[in-house]
Amino acid sequence: MTNRDVKLPADLKFDAAGLIPCIVQDSDTGRVIMFAWMNAESIEMTIKTGETHFWSRSRAELWHKGVTSGNTQTLISLEFDCDMDALLVRVKPSGPACHTGLESCFDSGRVELGPA
């Protein structure tokens, strides 16, 4: 558990539910491993502890990723986009990101493209 100072940009834009979309990328492989939502508290907890925290919309609670499965994600960097309404966190995962056991939640499927 680290204890970093939190310096969030004041003009970060949250939606009507107080949430901001968050893309999670493996900092070593570059693979996008999940997409989730953060609120102000989960951003602060992520930075303070150095491990990703999200807001679970289905459970309506703060969610420390990996606290049950052991597959935590160590924060490497946190970036925001030009509109200040989306986050990109790069992490070192300690195990598969997906509850299915796959490395990435996006390993679940792809749209088959017909001939161009």
Residues that bind a second copy (CB under 8 A): 2-9, 21, 23, 25, 30, 32, 34-35, 43, 47, 50, 75, 77-84, 86, 88, 98-100, 102, 105-116
Tokens representing residue 37 in the block: 């939502």
For the CB of residue 73, give the shortest distance to a second copy in the complex, in Å: 15
| 60 versus 82: smaller Cβ distance to a second copy | 82
Q: Token match 């990996």: residue?
A: 66
Neighbours of 108 (CB within 10 A): 9
For the CB of residue 50, give the shortest distance to a second copy in the complex, in Å: 6
| 3 versus 70: smaller Cβ distance to a second copy | 3
Cα torsion through 48, 49, 50, 56, rounded to 10: -100
SS3 per residue for 54-83: EEECCCCEEEECCCCCCCCEEEEEEEECCC
For the CB of residue 116, give the shortest distance to a second copy in the complex, in Å: 4
| 70 versus 100: smaller Cβ distance to a second copy | 100
- How far, in Å, CA of 72 to CA of 68, rounded? 9
For the CB of residue 70, give the shortest distance to a second copy in the complex, in Å: 18
| 62 versus 88: smaller Cβ distance to a second copy | 88
